[in-house]
Structure formats: structure tokens, C-alpha cells
């Protein structure tokens, strides 16, 4: 059981560059989420999806985009990287109602 798989695990970007953080789950969960965790802080929700073709903004969506073309995949796109986006990014998935909430191992992103 792979659960939630995130790639890459680490990445350094230059200001203004773009990248996509990949997230795949194999549990047939309807719901998927992207969170960011700044140093010494809790996780904040960036975007979430309740099913293929449906996405919605979380608390901190500025500077990010998402898409959900399949149940399994939920990529997060950074178009113009800024130092404020230096953070650890966690992808998660769940069934409706909070059952089976599962996190990936995280992507540590540094923007310089």
C-alpha cells in the first residue's frame, strides 16, 4: 500500500521559476488536499478537491494553482516562485467525513 505519494521530496527554486508538486493516492479517496507548513507553525490549507474536476480554495491559495483530472492525482502548481513560498508542502487525502485522513511524506521547497 503506497497511500499518498508526493514527489519530489526536496527542491530548490530560484525566484520567478515555476514547478509542479505531484501528489498521487491509491486509496480511491474522493477528497484531496494541499497544506503548507512554515517553520514552527501548524499546517494551513492551500487548496482542496472533493472529486475529479472539482477544486476549491483554502486559507492560503495565492500564488498556487491546482487541477484534479483524475481521482488519483492532485498536482499543485507554483507559477512564479517567491521566497514566501519556502515551506514544507503536504498532500493528503480522505473519504468524506474525515475518515481515513492520510498524509504524504511532504515536499521541502526552498525559494532563493
Partner 1 sequence: AQKVTQAQTEISVVEKEDVTLDCVYETRDTTYYLFWYKQPPSGELVFLIRRNSFDEQNEISGRYSWNFQKSTSSFNFTITASQVVDSAVYFCALKETSGSRLTFGEGTQLTVNP
Residues contributing to the site for partner 1 (CB under 8 A): 31, 33, 35, 40-45, 48, 50, 56, 58-59, 88, 90, 92, 96-99, 101-103, 105-106, 108
Nearer to partner 1 by C-beta: 14 or 39? 39
Pick the closest to residue 63 from 22, 93, 21, 92 (CA basis): 21
Query: In the complex, what is the shortest distance from the CB of residue 57 to partner 1, in angstroms, rounded to a whole number?
Result: 10
Give the three-class secondary structure for 105.
Answer: coil
Cα distance between residue 66 and residue 75, in whole Å:
6
Nearer to partner 1 by C-beta: 79 or 89? 89
Query: In the complex, what is the shortest distance from the CB of residue 80 to partner 1, in angstroms, rounded to a whole number?
Result: 26
Give how far Cα 88 sits from Cα of 1, 46, 54, 105, Å. 24, 12, 24, 10
Amino acid at each position: 500500500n503506497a497511500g499518498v505519494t508526493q514527489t519530489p521530496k526536496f527542491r530548490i527554486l530560484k525566484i520567478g521559476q515555476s514547478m509542479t508538486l505531484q501528489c498521487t493516492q491509491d486509496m480511491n479517496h474522493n477528497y484531496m488536499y494541499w497544506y503548507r507548513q512554515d517553520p514552527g507553525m501548524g499546517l494551513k490549507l492551500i487548496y482542496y478537491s472533493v472529486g475529479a474536476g472539482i477544486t476549491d480554495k483554502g486559507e492560503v491559495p495565492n500564488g498556487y494553482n491546482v487541477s484534479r483530472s483524475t481521482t488519483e492525482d492532485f498536482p499543485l502548481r507554483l507559477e512564479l516562485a517567491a521566497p514566501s513560498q519556502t515551506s514544507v508542502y503536504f498532500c493528503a487525502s480522505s473519504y468524506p467525513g474525515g475518515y481515513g485522513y492520510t498524509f504524504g511524506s511532504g515536499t521541502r521547497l526552498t525559494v532563493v
